[in-house]
Amino acid sequence: MVVSLSQQNQLWNRILSNVKERVEDKHIYDSFFANTKLHKVEGDIMYICVDSKLSIKLIEGNSTYTSYILDSIKEVTETEYKIRLLSKEEIVEKKDSLNKDSQVIETKERFFSTCCLNAKYNFDNFVVGSCNKEAVQASLLVTQSPGTSFNPLFLYSKPGLGKTHLLHAIGNFVKEKKPYAKVIYITTDAFIDEYIKYVHGDQQEESLKDFLKSCDVLLVDDIQSLADKQKTQEMFFYIFNALVNNNKQIVLTSDRHPSELKGLEDRLVSRFNMGLSINLQNPDTETLLSILKTKIEANGLDVNNFDYNGLVFLAENFSKNVRELEGALNRLIFYTITTKHSKKIDIQTIKDSVKPMMHSKDSKKVLSEEKIISTVCEYYHLTENQIKSKSRLSQIALARQIAMYLCRSMLGTPYKQIGVLFGGRDHSTVITSVDKVETMLKTDSSLSTALSKLQKNLKN
């Protein structure tokens, strides 16, 4: 992670405010934490400058104090960093190298201040399946000998399938093997912003070009955003050629194949086509389950506490976009922390936790008996317990029959299963209810209006 000094200070101030909220005693905060500074961030390590060697001993010797810092860092950055404490004396001793370091930061600060490699994304936590195997293999190959195999490597797919993750993984891996390699990660939008700054006279074209031309690996995310930006494309074309001619590696991502990019000059498209283009496809259920497992473990939880069929339910219903699958998992974790206190997470909890997300998704894919029951309950202002109860009150009985009818007609759910869902009724009771609704529909126009509304709600 490359950050400027001012960004670094801002980040540390946010972390400190978080620490302050955790520390109950103001004197403890003032004497141990208030004077700390973020010295630098390297990979997944934050080097923190504290008052003295004695402070290091005291903080490191107290697990509560270290967890104040670690927990705050995690909450603010959403990244698991390790920490190293350095005393002011130690930093002064290394002053020469420190000066050199801050010069490097200074140069990088001038461009793309919003972009940096994210240590969180690496090859170790990228799950490989048949959907992305080729993309991972090609990504690994370019890290072995950047600039010599496929230039550019062009990764494309629908959103949420791991392009940005792989881009960072390439960058982090190259940096791990060659710490002095200049690896630059940028988004295309950031490139456009830098170009606009140049047009407004806030910076020089040459220095921006020089900055990019001097890198060993250039990682550019979402290149489709260059569409219709003719002047910016010209600049990009120049940089692209300079890098490729010097055997420097370029990796691009896009939402579509180079040939399908609209609004891009032909000469750029043909350059993009000259390397290797690889498509990442929708993951299969098995890969999605491995992704879930990886993410559950990354959250410090035990996958064995999650009902397997519940995880299959998540994988099947959030199969088109890993970002959405992650969102569903985060929601589940949040839900279990706030509402469930037992360790084991059953399938019903999993379904309940993501219910609000399901309603907003493609209804055909996610239409379920649960959704039908909750929609009917909402429509008739009943609770799920009421509709599943033995009550014969006409309003409740009618809603129950309608819900059963919808399960049968919209999902084809077996009568027996419907009976189980509605409080353990036998299948002949379900058949009678469904038949009754069908008969009533022929003559009862208010019932058919209600049913059309319900079906419409269920399809939204």
Interacting residues toward ligand ADP by CB under 6 A: 121, 125-127, 132, 157, 159-165, 291, 294, 322-323, 326
- The site map against Mg ion for 142-171 (x = CB under 5 A) is ---------------------xx-------
Q: Which is nearer to ligand ADP, 132 or 232 (CB)?
A: 132
At residue 41, φ and ψ (nearest 5 deg) are -120, 125
Residue 8 binds Mg ion (CB under 5 A): no
Rounded to a whole number of angstroms, the minimum distance from the CB of residue 164 to Mg ion is: 3
Q: Which is nearer to ligand ADP, 187 or 401 (CB)?
A: 187
Q: 10 Å Cβ neighbour count for 320?
A: 17
Q: Quick one: what does residue 409 bind among Mg ion, ligand ADP, none, with the CB cut-off 5 to 8 Å set by partner type?
A: none
Q: How far is CA 196 from CA 193, 200, 204, 222, 324, in A?
A: 5, 6, 11, 18, 33
Cα 451 from Cα 386, distance rounded (Å): 20
Query: Which stretch of DSSP H or E encloses residue 276?
Result: strand 276-279
Write down the residue that tokens 């994304």 correspond to: 121
Cα 457 from Cα 77, distance rounded (Å): 39
Q: Quick one: what does residue 377 bind among ligand ADP, Mg ion, none, with the CB cut-off 5 to 8 Å set by partner type?
A: none
The answer to whether residues 110 and 4 touch, using CB atoms and an 8 Å cutoff, is no
Q: Which is nearer to Mg ion, 163 or 175 (CB)?
A: 163
Q: Quick one: what does residue 281 bind among Mg ion, ligand ADP, none, with the CB cut-off 5 to 8 Å set by partner type?
A: none
List beta partners, residue 186: 220
Q: Quick one: what does residue 146 bind among Mg ion, ligand ADP, none, with the CB cut-off 5 to 8 Å set by partner type?
A: none
Cβ-closest position to Mg ion: 164
Rounded to a whole number of angstroms, the minimum distance from the CB of residue 323 to Mg ion is: 9
Burial of 19 (0-12, 13-18, 19+ CB in 10 A): buried
Q: Quick one: what does residue 160 bind among Mg ion, ligand ADP, none, with the CB cut-off 5 to 8 Å set by partner type?
A: ligand ADP
To the nearest 10 degrees (0 to 180), the angle between helices 369-380 and 394-406 is 150
Rounded to a whole number of angstroms, the minimum distance from the CB of residue 118 to ligand ADP is: 10
Rounded to a whole number of angstroms, the minimum distance from the CB of residue 150 to ligand ADP is: 19
Helix (H, G, I), strand (E, B) or coil at 188: helix
To the nearest 10 degrees (0 to 180), the angle between helices 427-443 and 445-459 is 110
Q: Which is nearer to ligand ADP, 178 or 256 (CB)?
A: 256
Residues contributing to the site for Mg ion (CB under 5 A): 163-164
